[in-house]
């Protein structure tokens, strides 16, 4: 005997909304009794596809950003051809770009406010909600924007000061061990200097690494919480706009029949 189906809302609102949109776009995925409930509704298929694509982009960008805590903590080459501080710097610049991408994807979705203004009579309230959401999104991502945007437009790459220390120590170490180094070095002093440079490089790398792991962890909490809150507020009006009911209502109704 089959156990009765019990619907459990996904943990994050974006997954709940995307689940809603999937079943309306593909009702054949469901059992016949649930298909009948959806068939009685008249969802806006074009807008469903539009919002599904945009929210899917947001989710993909958000999930990519969440991975950076692991990248900063663990993802380094085993090859000696790429120094670990160089890999960390690569992660940092990728992270700043991907955080900016996430902000942009959210802003693109919020740019759909005209869809809601066409459908709803409370146009002033809709305008105020979307304007406040756009402003809050910029505020949430402002810390990343301060790091990323100026160098993104002007050319020079962003360099973490501790990564720069590690890179400088590495460069000096390679230079003074090069037989073609142009200055007369005291070979007796070289080992001690190399030891200090290696210590400086390791300490600078670890400092930068720990800071970026912490930064990614804190930003993950903030970005995830903000995205959850934003979509929780937007979900009721989104359901009205798309002329759909949340999945939980569909499944609860099916079970009670």
pLDDT tens-place string over residues 210-226:
999 999 999 999 999 99
Residue 155 gets the label, from left (phi > 0), alpha (psi -120 to 50) or beta, of left
Q: Measure the CA–CA gap between 78 and 84, rounded to whole angstroms.
A: 9
Report CA-CA distances (Å) from 189 to 171, 178, 181, 207: 18, 15, 15, 27
Two tokens at 17? 């909304």
Residue appearing with tokens 């309230």: 125
Cβ proximity of 88 and 75 under 8 Å: no
Task: Fill in the DSSP letter of residue 179.
Answer: T
Q: Quick one: 39 exposed, middle or buried, by C-beta within 10 A (0-12, 13-18, 19+)?
A: exposed
Rounded CA separation 211/124 (Å): 43
14-51 pLDDT, tens per residue? Answer: 999 999 999 998 888 888 888 888 888 888 899 999 99
Per-residue pLDDT of the chain (257 residues; tens, 9 = 90+): 466 677 788 889 999 999 999 999 888 888 888 888 888 888 889 999 999 999 999 999 999 999 999 999 999 999 889 999 999 999 999 999 999 999 999 999 999 998 888 888 888 889 999 999 999 999 999 877 565 544 444 555 567 999 999 999 999 999 989 888 887 888 888 899 999 999 999 999 999 999 999 999 999 999 999 999 999 999 999 999 999 988 888 887 654 44
164 vs 149: CA distance, rounded Å: 20
- How many Å apart are CA 125 and CA 135, to the nearest integer? 15
pLDDT computed for residue 158 by the predictor = 67
Would you say 218 and 173 are in contact if contact means Cβ atoms under 8 Å apart?
Answer: no
- Of 123, 138, 119, the closest CA to residue 243 belongs to 119
- Number of residues in the chain: 257
3-state helix, strand, coil split of the chain in percent (to 5) is 75, 0, 25
Q: Tokens 């903000």 appear where?
A: 226
């Amino acid at each position: 005997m089959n156990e009765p189906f019990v619907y459990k809302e996904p943990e994050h609102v974006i997954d709940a909304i995307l689940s809603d949109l999937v079943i309306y776009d593909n009702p054949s995925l469901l059992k016949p009794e649930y298909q009948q409930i959806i068939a009685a509704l008249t969802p806006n298929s074009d807008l469903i596809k539009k919002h599904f694509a945009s929210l899917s982009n947001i989710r993909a960008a958000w999930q990519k950003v969440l991975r950076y805590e692991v990248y900063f903590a663990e993802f380094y080459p085993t090859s000696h051809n790429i120094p670990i501080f160089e890999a960390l710097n690569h992660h940092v610049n990728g992270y700043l770009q991907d955080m900016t991408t996430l902000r942009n994807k959210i802003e693109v979705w919020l740019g759909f406010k005209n869809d809601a203004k066409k459908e709803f009579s409370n146009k002033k309230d809709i305008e105020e909600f979307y304007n406040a959401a756009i402003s809050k999104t910029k505020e949430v991502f402002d810390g990343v924007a301060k790091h990323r945007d100026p160098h993104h437009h002007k050319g020079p790459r962003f360099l973490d000061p501790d990564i720069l220390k590690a890179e400088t120590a590495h460069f000096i170490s390679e230079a003074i061990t090069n037989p073609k180094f142009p200055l007369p070095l005291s070979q007796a002093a070289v080992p001690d200097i190399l030891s200090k440079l290696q210590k400086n490089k390791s300490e600078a790398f670890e400092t930068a690494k720990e800071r970026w792991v912490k930064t990614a962890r804190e930003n993950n909490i903030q970005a995830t919480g903000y995205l959850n809150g934003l979509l929780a507020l937007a979900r009721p009006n989104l359901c009205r706009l798309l002329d759909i009911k949340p999945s939980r209502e569909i499944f609860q109704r099916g079970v009670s029949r």
